[in-house]
Amino acid sequence: MNIYPEFKKKTGNILAGFPAQFTSGSDEYNFEYYLESSAVYSSNIEGNSIDLNSFMNSKMLKKKIISKEYKEINDLILAYKFAKKNNLTGRKLLKANEILSKQILIRSKRGQLREERTGVFDPAGLVYLAIKPEKVKAEIKKLFDDIKYLKQRNLSVKEIFYYALFIHLMFIYICLWAETEEQPRLLEKWFLSAKPGESAWKVSSEKYCFENRSRYYRNINPGQNYYELNYKNCLPF
């Protein structure tokens, strides 16, 4: 189902001027701050209690912080930095997962595809059932075949954002790693940076998702299982 025409109509001119407004101050210090900010907000979405101000002040004071939450953010920052320096491929994505999941997964599970059944539950019961683990490898290959194709196309700015968001959603729908929910947001940003360039790392999408997290989760709204997805439900997202 192609929902791009409706997406294009609904979004109007909101992307006019991108990426020009993000090209100033492109030195490495600024990029490091943007990556740190992205990692903090992405962690906050999943319940990490360390806010950006606290994290940056701890870093400036060079405090030796050993809390699990602080380490989780640091690992996610390392994954963002890894992504910024490497081309987006399925193999590199697994490496990014290995980096960001050090505090979350046991060593044997890091950087590996899911081997368990998983789904999304709320107080009323099962909301969404992901594909069986034995089918994950094939589905992630299809996703990255599509990503490879898209990277070779000459896309408009609006198309770039549309596909970045769609990739974010498809990654969630496949549910590769139920314990590392930050990964779809990193993947979205990684794809964005592959098209208009590294200025895309400055887009504060994680901050926006955190500040609107109830809408963020509500608008994911995939349907009851992977094989019965209603892609029209993606438009609010």
Predicted local confidence at residue 90, as pLDDT: 92
Q: What is the pLDDT of residue 28?
A: 59
Range of the domain at 125: 25-234
> Is the separation of the CB atoms in 66 and 74 below 8 Å?
no
144: three-class secondary structure by DSSP: helix
Closest by CA to 151, choosing from 190, 120, 184, is 190
| Of 169, 142, 177, nearest in space to 229 by CA | 169
With respect to residue 38, please indicate whether it lies within any of the assigned structural domains. Answer: yes
Whether residue 16 lies inside any domain: the answer is no
User: Scanning the structure block, which residue is given the tokens 């995939």?
Assistant: 222
- On whether residue 2 sits in a domain, the answer given is no
Question: What per-residue confidence (pLDDT) applies to 120?
Answer: 78
Comparing CA positions, the residue from 149, 192, 143 lying closest to residue 169 is: 143
Q: How far apart are alpha carbons 229 and 237 in whole angstroms?
A: 14
Question: Considering its fold, how many domains does the chain have in total?
Answer: 1
The DSSP H or E segment spanning 128 is strand 125-129
Peptide bond into 123 cis (omega under 30): no
Least confident of 27-31, 49-53, 196-200: 27-31
Give a yes or no: residue 63 inside a domain: yes
Taking alpha carbons only, the member of 138, 177, 163, 24 closest to residue 88 is 163
Rounded to whole angstroms, how far apart are CA atoms 47 and 24?
A: 32
**pLDDT tens, 101-149?**
999 888 988 888 888 888 777 777 877 888 899 999 999 999 999 999 9
Q: Which CATH number goes with the domain that contains 63?
A: 1.10.3290.10
Tell me which residue has tokens 């892609």: 231
Report yes or no on 5 lying in a domain: no
pLDDT at res. 42: 95
pLDDT per residue over 77-104, tens digit each? 999 999 999 999 999 999 999 999 999 8
**Domain presence at residue 225:** yes
The pTM of this model reads 0.89
The answer on pLDDT for 197 being more than 60 is: yes
**SS3 state at 161:** helix
Whether pLDDT at 44 is above 80: yes
| 74 closest CA partner among 106, 47, 42 | 42
Mean pLDDT in the chain?
87
